[in-house]
C-alpha cells in the first residue's frame, strides 16, 4: 500500500548515478521531492526526469532536493543522466526494490521488479506532505511537486 500523507518518510540509503551515497535522514531541514519511476531511458521516465531538470532552479530556490529512484543499476542511471543532460536531479539506484517496498510502490513483474510512478513531497521534518500518483502525462509530476513545495515553503 502506498504511504499516505502525514506519515514519516522511511529512511533509506542508496547509491546515486554519481557514485556516491545519499541518505534521506541526512537531508533533514530540507524539503525533499522523492519520485519513483519504472525504468530509465523509457519515454515517460525520460520526459519526467527532463521536466524535473527544467524546473530545478525553482526547486533549489525553495530549498528542495530532487531525488529520482528506480530499480535500475547505478551504471544505467549514469548513462541516463549523461544522455539526457540531467545535471542536477539526483538519481538513486534501488536494484532490489527495497526502497520502493518501504514506500509501497514496488511492482513485481515476470522479468523484473520496478517502481510505480509516484512522487512524495517530504517536509523539513521528514513527514510526507503530498503524494502524487496516477498522474498523466508523466512530466506533470514535476509541476505538481513544485506546487506542493511552494505551499510548504510559504509561511501560513
Residue 45 has pLDDT above 70, yes or no: yes
Give the mean model confidence (pLDDT) for residues 97-102: 97
Distances (CA, A) of 132 to 6, 21, 35: 14, 25, 9
For 127, the domain range is: 13-153
Residue 156 has pLDDT above 70, yes or no: no
> Which of residues 3 and 136 earns the better pLDDT score?
3
User: What CATH number did the domain enclosing 128 receive?
Assistant: 3.40.30.10
Q: Is 1 part of any domain?
A: no
Q: What is the 3-state secondary structure (H, E, C) of 78-144?
A: HHHHHHHCCCCCEEEECCCCHHHHHCCCEEECCCCEEECCEEEEECCCCEEEEEEECCCCCCHHHHH
Q: Tens digits of per-residue pLDDT, 63-77?
A: 999 999 999 999 999
pLDDT of residue 154: 77
Q: Cα(21)–Cα(101) distance, rounded to whole angstroms?
A: 19
Give the mean model confidence (pLDDT) for residues 80-104: 96
Q: Is 62 part of any domain?
A: yes
pLDDT band at 50 (very low <50, low <70, confident <90, very high): very high
Residue 32 has pLDDT above 70, yes or no: yes
Question: Which residues, 6 or more positions from 86, have their beta carbon under 8 angstroms from its beta carbon?
Answer: 17, 49, 50, 53, 80
User: Each residue of 24-42: b (16+ CB within 10 Å) or e?
Assistant: beebeeebbbbbbbbbbee
Q: Is 18 part of any domain?
A: yes
pLDDT of residue 155: 64
* Catalytic residue positions, numbered: 45
Count of structural domains within the chain: 1
Q: Is 34 part of any domain?
A: yes
Q: Is 3 part of any domain?
A: no
3-state helix, strand, coil in the chain (%, to 5): 35, 30, 40
pLDDT of residue 112: 87
Q: How many CB atoms lie within 10 A of CB 84?
A: 17
Q: Cα(91)–Cα(6) distance, rounded to whole angstroms?
A: 25
Amino acid at each position: 500500500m502506498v504511504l499516505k500523507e502525514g506519515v514519516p518518510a522511511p529512511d533509506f540509503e542508496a547509491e546515486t548515478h554519481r557514485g556516491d551515497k545519499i541518505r534521506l535522514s541526512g537531508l533533514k531541514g530540507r524539503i525533499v521531492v522523492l519520485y519513483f519511476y519504472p525504468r530509465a531511458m523509457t519515454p515517460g521516465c525520460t520526459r519526467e526526469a527532463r521536466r524535473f531538470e527544467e524546473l530545478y532552479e525553482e526547486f533549489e530556490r525553495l530549498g528542495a532536493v530532487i531525488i529520482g529512484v528506480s530499480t535500475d543499476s547505478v551504471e544505467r542511471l549514469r548513462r541516463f543522466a549523461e544522455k539526457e543532460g540531467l545535471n542536477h536531479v539526483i538519481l538513486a539506484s534501488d536494484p532490489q526494490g527495497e526502497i520502493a517496498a518501504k514506500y509501497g510502490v514496488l511492482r513485481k513483474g515476470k522479468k523484473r521488479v520496478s517502481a510505480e510512478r509516484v512522487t512524495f513531497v517530504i517536509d523539513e521534518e521528514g513527514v510526507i506532505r503530498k503524494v502524487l500518483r496516477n498522474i498523466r502525462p508523466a512530466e506533470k509530476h514535476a509541476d505538481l511537486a513544485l506546487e506542493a513545495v511552494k505551499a510548504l515553503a510559504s509561511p501560513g
